[in-house]
Structure 1
């Protein structure tokens, strides 16, 4: 049985890429709880592994729930390739251009307003934040973003209002927080309440949900980027630790849950590696390069 510290893959359960029979062309990795240490640093071992992968001709995509403006944690470790998928697939970002957003898959404001209404009815006490391409804004009762001191504060309806319909900054995602419901229960409740209005997921250990446009996920945007490059799913290795990584891990030919991953992530990944604090991503990359 594969252990938490063994980077070797288990059978891929239908992905068609167990072992090293298909050459790896792209590595897709989550950041928080996965590539990054708990202090948000990138270890020397991981920096070396990323550089070695790119030197071997393997593309590296950072695929994260973070907004573009929070990508400075890895900007120094971008080599030949500089694209990242941010906000759970809602934005494609050019890290070589200072985090410039080059593609947006927005949550329509009408759907965002309907989502707010649905969640307020289903889970009274929910507070919201609105992530725009220009920055984040939140309701008075929402946990403040210490990294965004310039954020605007108002009701969700005020934050989603446009002076001229269709001319406001695109909504990258809606965030919903509840002070009492457990994280997984809140996720289940919200998915039922929101339905087809948007894609609901979570990456926080608290009851903080992230809502993107319908069909928008890390997996769907990664699939689009790979198709543009002629890269098949079986040529992709993906890493993650939280529910917002599940679709990506299921899509990739070879996928790894971190040793610190959520149980639902452990259930879907085709392999398991060491926790983020023990450089689990680097361990697998080193193994891949040895196989080559």
Structure 2
């Protein structure tokens, strides 16, 4: 695994309602502790509603947090080019950790001017080894490849994403040294199985792949996301916080799926959404209401109200 902190070219492409009262089952966690200096929030199923919108209440809460001097990080499995959904609605607040930690992107310039500030790529050798091991462990697995700008997939990979792939080739050809966009870093590979239970597929893949890569999932289907060894939302967030002199105790994190578990465990305060996967509920120190009920905004409002 190599890390590259270089700056690269840009990626392609009012009123706040009253806070709902949390139900007794969700009144967990506390806003006490060191004043927060950074908010780290997942997007899909967490900050975003199910229709992929950001509510006016959430926009206002994020703006109020930044006005109070709290930095906002979006921490997502999405590739950088899918970040317009956030910057379109929240006016370019903050930085985004994309691809489950594979890249850090500055959103402050707004749509069309995002820039990479850190890239933690998946070495092609590791990616090819992962493909081989998963084909052996789970026959029928099909793959897609995410790069800084490109997206490629195998011919049998289903239409799961927002875009038409740049190339349709076997994964071995996509990841070859002379494959498409060979000059671009590979951020992650996606592995899909049409029949396996999602959590069972994740367990199987982690056993098969071992230390060659980091494997997680955020989709309700049997779709795995494979990054470089040691690359995760948590590890990249930890790097970014260390650069800013921010301790885990000064971080408040939100998430809903297994790819959020390490981040929620690392952060001093963390909240599972009301719609969260059971593993996320077990990992978080608190719980809020569901994404469709503005669970992130509910907590931010309480945090700001409790500040001295």
| Contact 1:218/1:248, CA 8 A, preserved across alignment | yes
Structure with the larger RCO, 1 or 2 (CA within 8 Å, 6+ apart): 1
Per-residue deviation at 1:147? 2.0
Q: In 2, distance between residues paired with 1:35 and 1:271?
A: 16
Listed as ranges, the gaps of 5+ residues in structure 2 are: 1-20
1:24 aligned counterpart, secondary structure: coil
Matches within 5 A, 1:9-24: 9-10=28-29, 19-24=31-36
Question: C-alpha deviations, 1:39-61, integer Å up to 9, x for none?
Answer: 00000110110111111111110
User: Partner of 1:252 in structure 2?
Assistant: 267
Aligned to 1:200, which of 207, 210, 215? 215
TM-score by length of 1: 0.92
Q: Does 1:183 align with 2:195?
A: no
Per-residue deviation at 1:103? 1.1
TM-score by length of 2: 0.88
User: Partner of 2:53 in structure 1?
Assistant: 41
Matches within 5 A, 1:1-292: 9-10=28-29, 19-78=31-90, 81-97=93-109, 98-163=113-178, 168-292=183-307
Q: In 2, distance between residues paired with 1:263 and 1:210?
A: 19
| Contact 1:111/1:198, CA 8 A, preserved across alignment | yes
Q: In 2, distance between residues paired with 1:94 and 1:255?
A: 23
CA RMSD of aligned residues (A): 1.9
Q: In 2, distance between residues paired with 1:77 and 1:223?
A: 26
Q: In 2, distance between residues paired with 1:175 and 1:223?
A: 24
Q: In 2, distance between residues paired with 1:137 and 1:80?
A: 28
Per-residue deviation at 1:144? 2.1
Cα 1:7–1:94 shift into 2, 3 Å: farther
Cα 1:134–1:19 shift into 2, 3 Å: closer
User: Partner of 1:14 in structure 2?
Assistant: none
Per-residue deviation at 1:150? 4.5
Per-residue deviation at 1:168? 2.4
Per-residue deviation at 1:76? 2.9
Q: In 2, distance between residues paired with 1:249 and 1:36?
A: 18
1:161 aligned counterpart, secondary structure: coil
Per-residue deviation at 1:7? 6.7
Question: C-alpha deviations, 1:198-252, integer Å up to 9, x for none?
Answer: 0000000000000000000000000000111111000000000000000000000
Per-residue deviation at 1:291? 0.4
Q: In 1, distance between residues paired with 2:202 and 2:92?
A: 38
For this pair of structures, how many residues does the alignment match?
283
Question: C-alpha deviations, 1:69-121, integer Å up to 9, x for none?
Answer: 00011113456853110000000001134222221101100000000000000
1:134 aligned counterpart, secondary structure: coil
Listed as ranges, the gaps of 5+ residues in structure 1 are: 11-17
| Contact 2:31/2:303, CA 8 A, preserved across alignment | no
| Contact 1:201/1:244, CA 8 A, preserved across alignment | yes
Moved beyond 6 Å, runs of 4+: none
